[in-house]
Amino acid sequence: MGVSDSQIYASLKDDLVRYATALVGPDSAGDVVSTVVVRVLAKGSLGDLREPRAYLFRAVLNEATSTRRRARHEIPATVAETIRDDPDTHPEVVAAVLDLPVQQRAATYLVYWAGHTMAEAADLMGLSEGTVKRYVSLARNRLKGVLHVRT
């Protein structure tokens, strides 16, 4: 007998909610994750997925992108709570990260805050490693410009 849907969900829920929070803010994160899980369960079982973690991370990113597109307004400043877990992170860095496009913010979050490698972030985002590297590079360049960082 395989792993149950509730076991799979329980093992991924916290990571998915943190990821969604970084993308859409704490007010919408739970809704994004719930929407994704309900859609998957309506079609079958989480256990039917070949790579549930990667699939759900990609689905959360897609739903977050759709949510942002529908909302068409800035993410609440409280999204900073997800990124501010690191006491060394300055408020201006948090603000600059929050201004990044969703794909760049997702790549930046996964690599710098969640500690994933570029390859792992690519797998979770459903993109090639080169695309994630490009998003991270674009984010770095934008952050350097906004934060006036010298290299």
**Which residues 6+ apart lie within 8 Å of 81 measured at CB?**
21, 26
**How confident is the model over 52-56, as a mean pLDDT?**
94
Helices (H) and strands (E) in the chain, counts: 8, 0
Backbone angles phi, psi at 117, to 5 degrees: -75, 170
* pLDDT band of 89, cuts 50, 70, 90: low
Q: Which pLDDT belongs to residue 118?
A: 95
CB hemisphere CA count around 45 (13 angstroms): 9
Question: pTM for the complete prediction?
Answer: 0.62
* pLDDT band of 73, cuts 50, 70, 90: very low
**How confident is the model over 41-55, as a mean pLDDT?**
91
Identify which has the larger pLDDT, 138 or 68.
138
Number of domains in the chain: 1
**How confident is the model over 71-89, as a mean pLDDT?**
52
Return the residue matching tokens 């529908």. Answer: 70
* pLDDT band of 17, cuts 50, 70, 90: very high
Domain that holds residue 61: 5-147
| CATH classification at residue 30 | 1.20.140.160
Backbone angles phi, psi at 73, to 5 degrees: -140, 170
* pLDDT band of 133, cuts 50, 70, 90: very high
Q: Which pLDDT belongs to residue 147?
A: 78
* pLDDT band of 35, cuts 50, 70, 90: very high
pLDDT beyond 50 at 134: yes
